[in-house]
């Protein structure tokens, strides 16, 4: 008879190790990725081996250099925006907001563009790759709310409103086999026609230097790093883990599957972010016998 390992005991051991890490290093620099938002209905990019689950997202160069690519992007975004705009913070977002409220998070840096950390109540945050709820004109630099663009897209393209498609992680949808050539994309209402782009960092585009510096300043003021829900396959996030190690800061990670930083971690917890981070909040809270807002559970 095969004897299976006691998975519940292993999970408890991992929870205890994460609790010990956070107690030892009370001011955390937190770096999050798509894995913290999957419980909110937003799909992630990669599987547990770090491979792409779908074709790589559009690059900045393609978006800016080809009007047909922009039409295709905004058509897919019109459909996908329903999922993105309707998403609500999940257990991982609530737990990280609770950790900040308890004074344990000095800075939270997210690679996500969904705005769910702010919606959950996290305040000391940097959206490393920007936010999808804003669009920017690439001619004049004016910024506009994404919801207004959605209304204009629907007005110009009413037949697309009824389409159903699977949501994609970057706020668009997996529309295949459609003719995008007649899709009508408005230009910037401020300057009268400049191309509009989501106010996010596309693949092939650089994170603004002032944003990178603000992240580095936050890292310098921290005791340790906690990576949550990121495979670190994108260098814009991985570089801060390397910077932490160079500074002698320990790094813990909560993530399902392999990451590019596995050999750099002092602790790796193979678990979904929601349950693991919620358990962490409860464990840290038990000695005081109270609960943090937004994290359900019994007082200890």
CB 18 within 8 A of CB 280: yes
Beta strand residue intervals within 129-219, DSSP E: 130-137, 143-145, 196-200
Q: Does residue 190 carry a catalytic annotation?
A: no
Please give the C-alpha separations between residue 292 and each of 95, 97, 165, 286, 300, in angstroms, as whole numbers.
8, 9, 37, 11, 12
Beta strand residue intervals within the chain, DSSP E: 28-32, 105-110, 125-127, 130-137, 143-145, 196-200, 224-228, 251-254, 267-269
User: Pick the catalytic residue: 117, 129, 242, 282?
Assistant: 129
Q: Note the Cα 45 to chain centre separation in Å.
A: 11
For residue 254, what are the β-bridge partners?
Answer: 228, 269
What are the catalytic residues? 129
């Amino acid at each position: 008879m095969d004897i299976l390992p006691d998975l519940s005991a292993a999970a408890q051991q991992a929870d205890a190790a994460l609790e010990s890490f956070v107690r030892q290093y009370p001011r955390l620099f937190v770096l999050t990725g798509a894995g913290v938002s999957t419980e909110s209905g937003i799909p992630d990019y990669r599987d547990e081996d770090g491979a792409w689950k779908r074709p790589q997202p559009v690059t900045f160069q393609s978006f800016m250099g080809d009007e047909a690519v922009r039409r295709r992007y905004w058509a897919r975004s019109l459909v996908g925006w329903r999922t993105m705009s309707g998403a609500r913070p999940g257990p991982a977002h609530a737990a990280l907001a609770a950790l900040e409220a308890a004074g344990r998070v000095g800075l939270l840096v997210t690679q996500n563009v969904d705005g769910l950390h702010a919606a959950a109540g996290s305040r000391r945050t940097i959206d490393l790759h920007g936010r999808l709820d804003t669009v920017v004109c690439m001619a004049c630099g004016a910024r506009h709310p994404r919801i207004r663009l959605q209304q204009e897209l629907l007005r110009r393209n009413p037949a697309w409103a009824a389409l159903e498609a699977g949501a994609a992680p970057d706020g668009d949808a997996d529309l295949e086999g459609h003719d995008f050539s007649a899709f009508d994309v408005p230009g910037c209402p401020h300057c009268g026609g400049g191309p509009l782009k989501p106010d996010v960092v596309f693949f092939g585009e650089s994170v603004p230097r002032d944003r990178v510096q603000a992240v580095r300043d936050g890292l310098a003021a921290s005791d340790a790093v906690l990576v949550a829900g990121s495979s670190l396959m994108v260098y814009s996030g991985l570089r801060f883990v390397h910077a932490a190690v160079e500074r002698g800061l320990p790094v813990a990670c909560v993530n399902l599957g392999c990451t590019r930083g596995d050999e750099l971690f002092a602790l790796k917890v193979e678990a979904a972010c929601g349950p693991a981070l919620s358990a962490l909040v409860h464990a840290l809270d038990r000695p005081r016998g109270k609960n943090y807002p937004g994290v359900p559970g019994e007082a200890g």
